[in-house]
Chains A and B, each alone.
Chain A
Amino acid sequence: MIRLVGILVGLGFTFVVLLAFGSGALTVMGQGYLVEETAEHAFHEEAHMPAGGYSFDGLMPSWDLAQLQRGYQVYKEVCSACHSLDYVAFRDLAELGYSEAEVKAEAASWVVPGINPDTGEASTRPGMPTDYFPSPYANDIAAAAANNNAIPPDLSLMTKAREHGTAYVYSLLTGYQAPAAALVEEFPDSVPGPGLHHNPYFANLNLAMAPPLTSDGQVTYADGTEASVEQMATDVAAFLTWTAEPSLVDRVRLGWIVMGFLLFATILAWLAKKQVWANAKRKD
């Protein structure tokens, strides 16, 4: 009885799902293609790493502190005009190789919201190492109003919040270009509207952010490195990888120690198992 009911139920579900299959197949045959080609798909390009790669990539990662400091400088002088860095505090900058005094000085170079100790009114004061990076806008409404209704996202976690994060940031920053002429002919609607900018690495191709890194030497690096657009994009993508995952290098290094321990434990477990089972004299 239970098998009979089972067979009927099974055939019922199969019938309904095959009806759905049939109607889908008819639609596909009617339109003559499986998936309609979209501009997003046709223009899209896969994010890629800069030519030299990164010191933190791969199985033996390390931070290139000079690079992180340069990336921080790009964030400070370019990105921070519009983008917040909510989850990073000035004290965290010590991890980039700054001394205690330098962290203090760096924090003091930022203006953070404060409270006037005499009147209790909202005011501003120089930052301290315990402060977090201040937002460029008072709130989302102010951010939207200043940016043609597109709120600049927080950058703290950007390289973990996108596929191929580090490569994505680098590719996006260096990827602004005019849409390919052949594709524009095919997709006339894909030409960016007013206030938008074509970028094949951005999901819907039309990015509200104007190209932020436009000319070589836009930032004058403290360490004298030549600040090409390529170099600035590479450095700031490295900095944002650190802000998203400050534990990255420590994590992988600890991982190797754990792996070594586990490998040793596995060998011991294997020998113990062999010895114990020697008594059982299995044939297979």
Chain B
Amino acid sequence: MSFPWAKQYEPTNPFMKYLDEKLPLPRFVYNAVGAGYPVPRNLSYMWNFGVLAGFCLVLQIVTGVVLAMHYAANDAIAFDSVEHIMRDVNWGWLMRYAHANGASFFFIVIYLHIFRGFYYSSYKAPREMIWLIGVVIFLLMMATAFMGYVLPWGQMSFWGAKVITGLFGAIPLVGESIQIWLLGGYAPDNAALNRFFSLHFLLPFVIAGVVILHIWALHLPGSSNPTGVEVKSESDTLPFHPYYTAKDGLGLAVFLILYAAFVFFMPNALGHPDNYIPANPLSTPALIVPEWYFYPFYAILRAFTFDFLLPAKLWGVLAMFAAILVWFFLPWLDKSPVRSGRYRPLFRKFFWILMLDMAALFYLGGAHAEEPYIMLSQIATAYYFLHFLVILPIISSIEKPEPLPFSITEAVLGPDEKKAQGDSAGTAA
């Protein structure tokens, strides 16, 4: 694990020496996110989002555990208990708004983290496993967030649960049985709410466990970097602490400002007004939409409106799941030996088209199911699949990459190797 020049943990305090001998937890932390982890010296601010995502997970668990102390998972009183939190629990409104907006910001951070991975091909060898585990984390997050949105038992909670679990009903033969098994009934009711609460409490800890695997896998090859050139020598790296703790600290502070702006000044901007109406199985909202972070996949789901061999609904469900599953295959779909989009002129153009396409899907997923939105979402969906499954494999074969720097040190400090190595002497923690 790690590079030969990584700093070793050397406790001086007798207690820490004793602890290191019996339970080397401080050593573990030192090597994971301390001075013992050498990191490429050229990471941009796009590399902040891993730490930010970890922060969001902790934030969600802490606020969530407090909310669970006051929430009641029962369809007769769930909505009331949320209002009890908002009105009667000391700082309850802060906990709930922090949790609801925390989910949104968790997804903002994760999307940026994933898009960073797209641009710099962070999924490529030797980091495939980090990427695969990351996609698993994303899927777990989606399940967790979906079930969390059901808990307030408002109109969108109920109808969102009905629509999303209804997707399983599209599976031939066994679909309906699976749907009933998932819900514990024919429609979302107390049984569904109870199990969603149980799983919503459990899954974040599963995510935390998988995050540990994600970081473990990361520490074998070490972090990628904006040039995509692997670390060659000590001068290419800086110890994580203090360099990247300082840089992540600044990123965290800026993140918190944006987050606090939503929590305190527009806490309901990312939610839907209908969820302040108690769930009513007899009254269907005019527009049923999931939370904004599911919009791209919801747009893909709704884009399939034509029965071709299979029913349109089944196509939509298949496409929606395929849209995420395709990420699992990225390490093998993109065979270009060059990682970073910086040196891939053709790839870069298509990357930005993909970003525009994602922006379109984000917008269209929240729009009414009427023209021209349906036709636009069909074009956007077509590009989404073409990009990952057709364009990416082809451009990685035909593209002529630009020349790469010899090393990270050269990319950062210019071609003078000696000068760079001289500098690195002054990087003691």
A residues whose Cβ falls under 8 Å from a Cβ of B:
2-3, 6-7, 9-11, 13-21, 23-25, 28, 34-35, 59, 87, 92, 153, 156-157, 160-163, 165, 203, 244, 246-247, 251-252, 254-256, 258-259, 262-263, 265-266, 269-270, 272-273, 276-277, 279-284
Contacts and interface: CB of A to CB of B under 8 A. Distances in A.
Candidate in B93, B261, B306, B393 with the most chain A CB atoms within 10 angstroms: B306
14 contacts: A6-B388, A6-B390, A9-B322, A11-B389, A20-B378, A21-B382, A251-B97, A255-B265, A256-B264, A259-B257, A259-B264, A263-B257, A273-B247, A276-B242
Contacts, number: 176
Interface residues of B, number: 69
B371 A35 contact: yes
Given A203-B286, A283-B413, A6 B333 contact: yes
Contacts of B264: 251-252, 254-256, 258-259
Contacts of A6: 326, 329, 333, 388-390, 393
**Top 4 closest pairs, chain A to chain B, by CB:** A10-B389, A255-B264, A20-B306, A161-B276
A281 B416 CA distance: 14
A2 B332 contact: yes
Contacts of A156: 83
A266 B394 CA distance: 44
Contacts of A262: 253, 256-257, 260
Contacts of A277: 243, 246-247
B304 A17 contact: yes
Contacts of B249: 269, 272-273
Contacts of B61: none
Interface stretch (B49-57, B108-116, B266-274): B266-274
B67 interface: no
B179 interface: no
Given A19-B306, A272-B249, A276-B243, A7 B390 contact: yes
B374 interface: yes
- Decide if the interface of chain A is mainly helix, strand, loop or mixed: helix
Interface string B386-422: 1011100110000000000000000011100000000
A19 B382 CA distance: 10
A157 B276 contact: yes
Given A6-B393, A16-B306, A270-B253, 9 more contacts: A6-B329, A11-B390, A13-B322, A157-B83, A157-B277, A246-B87, A251-B97, A272-B246, A280-B423
B259 to A, nearest CB: 9
B385 interface: yes
Given A3-B335, A6-B393, A252-B264, A20 B86 contact: no
A56 to B, nearest CB: 13
Nearest to A275: B246
A252 B94 CA distance: 11
A18 B381 CA distance: 9
Given A254-B264, A255-B260, A20 B305 contact: yes
Contacts of A28: 371, 375
B286 to A, nearest CB: 7
A23 B250 contact: no
Contact of A10 (B41, B312, B385): B385
